[in-house]
Amino acid sequence: MNDSPGKKIMRIIILCFLILKTVTGGLVEARDTFLEVVVTDPFIEMHTGPASGYPVFHVVERGEKITVIVRKTDWFKIRTSKNKEGWAHRNELVQTLTLDGKETEFRDVTFEGFKKRRWEVGLMTGDFEGAASLTLFGTYYLTPTLSTELSATHAIGNFSSSLMANVRIAAHPFPEWRISPFMALGSGYIQTTPNATLVRTVDRDDPLAHVSFGANIYISKRFIFRMEYNNYKIFTSRDNNEEIEEWKAGFSAFF
Amino acid sequence: MESRLFRLFLTGTYKTLFGLLVIISSNSQAAEPASNPLEKKTEQIILPELDRREIKQATVDADDFEIGGFAGVLSIEDFGVNAVYGARLAYHVTEDIFAEISAGQSKASETSFEVLSGGLQLLTEDERKLTYYNISLGYNLFAGESFFGKRAFNSDLYVIAGIGNTNFANSDHFTWNVGVGYRFIPRDWFTIHVDVRDHIFNSDILGADKQTHNLELTAGFTFFF
């Protein structure tokens, strides 16, 4: 018996951690040389935590030198010259200058970022010919108009469930539009397992190909809403090939 | 005849052009010393801003990911309350919203019927295994401080909901989950979680298809990275 999807996901979580750790590991090196800036606003409020709900406990005045240590979403952990540590919002730090008088930029993610995105990770849910489907996908943009994508889908039906892996190439003819349509071609593999409470039939492994239409809709910050239609052709070992239609929608974040 | 007229025309143009040049140059010469002190004054006001045109992109390490493990109890409907453990990975999109993927596993014990009947088994050992995974969106409802003795610590109370799959009795069940969690943050990189989650799925293990509610109570810890 194969491992259940839950166990696989647990392993994926640990793998993700290791990958992300190595990716962000390069930045850890830079921790020794923190960014130092001078406050030019009348004052900056320091919160005890990285959200507006946390209380303000200290105020940094104009002209004071602060060290920026780490970022969490839109909040920056700063240290004053008197060694007080707290969190300030990005908006308050935009006006700061570096020690040699240059402007600093604390990057905000906007629509411009959406147009220039390289990586996208997201999840979708929908209807896979009557079964509920869950999809996790990762996309890499070769150019703004051309992307490659790897996805894993779990379709959970009343009588059987399927695990499917796909790779595809997508064309985005209007990357500068807020609602950007795309079309894709891809192929993959599907493994179908009947539910145990039914009469036992054998598991099936089949290759498949698909064609897909959809649109990416930029919401705000790093968020994209995606909806798409997929038409799968499953090349079974039986006499007839199987055709499956899937509708799904979901969210993704880009980097 | 034509060429003579043309020459006259040309000399005329040259003279006018020369005259114009003289006027322009004398004008600018006269204007320059007068406007100089004014220009210098305005330059001084503008200059500091011009100096700051160079922008330095701040490279600050972002700690938006949270990873950890949890353990607790899961009440599997009809199959008793059982130990559960698992792992979670979260990505904080904004200060309020986060996406979480988590997976766990447990093992069902016997139903009351199995206990009372003495020896009768509804499921085999292998079928009693329960594993689940889910993808959820969480919202930090109450970010604030919790006081432990005289010391204040950061904390979040969040609500969370999502979809996923539960594999139980060797079959997959599409599963909804809703819950409430408390994140206690003693250090900016280390947190302690307490979670209550309801996993809802349809099951026909005991014959008729019915909706089951499987309540889970867990505690765990996570690291921000």
Contact list in B for residue A20 (CB cut-off 8 A) is 65, 225
Q: Does B11 reside within a domain?
A: yes
- For the segment B41-55, the average pLDDT, to the nearest whole number, is 54
**One domain, residues B51 and B71:** no
- B49 and B69 inside one domain: no
One domain, residues B122 and B151: yes
pLDDT at B30: 47
- For an interface test with A, which of B60, B167, B184, B224 has the most A Cβ atoms less than 10 Å from its Cβ? B60
* Mean pLDDT for the stretch of residues A16-33: 57
Residue B60 lies in a domain: no
Whether B20 and B97 share a structural domain: no
- Alpha-carbon distance A207 to A242, whole Å? 11
Task: Answer for the pair B76, B106: CB distance below 8 angstroms, yes or no.
Answer: yes
Domain of residue B148, residue span: 65-224
* Domains and their CATH numbers in chain A: 34-108 (2.30.30.40), 113-254 (2.40.160.20)
Burial label for B193, CB within 10 Å (0-12, 13-18, 19+), is: buried
pLDDT at B1 over 80: no
Flag if A195 and B93 touch (Cβ within 8 Å).
no
- Cα of B216 to nearest chain A Cα, Å: 16
CB A76, CB A113: distance < 8 Å? no
Contact criterion met (CB < 8 Å) for B170 and A1? yes
CA B80 to chain centre: 36
Instruction: Quickly state the pLDDT bin for A27 (edges 50, 70, 90).
Output: very low
Q: Give yes or no: residues B158 and B208 share one domain.
A: yes
pTM of the complete model = 0.74
| Backbone angles phi and psi of A16, in degrees to 5 | -55, -45
CB B100 within 8 A of CB B133: no
Tell me: the pLDDT tens digits for A115-127?
Answer: 888 999 998 999 9
Identify the closest residue of chain A to B92 by CA–CA distance: A73
Token pair in block for residue B132 = 């689940």
Candidates A1, A2, A8, A9, partner chain B, best to mutate (most B CBs within 10 A): A9
pLDDT category of residue A94 using cuts at 50, 70 and 90: confident
User: Which of B47, B61, B97 to probe the A interface (max A CBs under 10 A)?
Assistant: B61
B3 in any annotated domain:
yes
Same structural domain, B89 and B137: yes
- Are B32 and B77 part of one and the same domain? no
Q: Do A103 and B86 touch (CB under 8 A)?
A: no
Residues of B in contact with A156 (CB under 8 A): 165, 172-174
My answer on whether B119 and B214 are in the same domain is yes
Is the same domain home to B131 and B219?
yes
Q: Is residue A194 predicted with pLDDT exceeding 90?
A: no
- Beta-carbon separation of A106 and B60 below 8 A: yes
Query: In this predicted structure, what is the pLDDT of residue B221?
Result: 92
Q: pLDDT tens digit string along B163-202?
A: 999 999 888 899 999 999 999 998 888 999 999 999 999 9
The answer to whether the beta carbons of residues A186 and A166 sit under 8 Å apart is: yes
Q: Which residue has the tokens 């509804």?
A: B122
A230-253: average pLDDT: 89
Contact B167 A5 (CB under 8 A): yes
Note whether B91 and B167 are same-domain residues.
Answer: yes
| Strands in chain B per DSSP E | 55-57, 65-75, 81-92, 97-107, 129-148, 151-168, 171-187, 190-203, 210-224
Task: For residues B133 and B184, state if they share a domain.
Answer: yes
Number of domains in chain B: 2
| Contact between A54 and A72 (Cβ < 8 Å) | no
Same domain, B83 and B29: no
Mean pLDDT across chain B, nearest whole number? Answer: 81
Q: Which residue of A has its CA nearest to B66?
A: A17
Residues 7 through 36 of chain A touching chain B, CB cutoff 8 Å: 7, 9-10, 13-14, 16-17, 20-21, 24, 27-28, 30-31, 35
Question: What is the distance of C-alpha A236 from the center of its chain?
Answer: 33
Does the distance separating the beta carbons of A73 and B94 come in below 8 Å? Answer: yes
| Chain A residue closest in CA terms to B129 | A4
For residue A190, give every residue at least 6 positions away whose Cβ sits within 8 Å of its Cβ, in sequence order, or none. Answer: A162, A163, A164, A204, A205, A206, A207, A208, A232, A234
The token pair at B200 is 């809802």
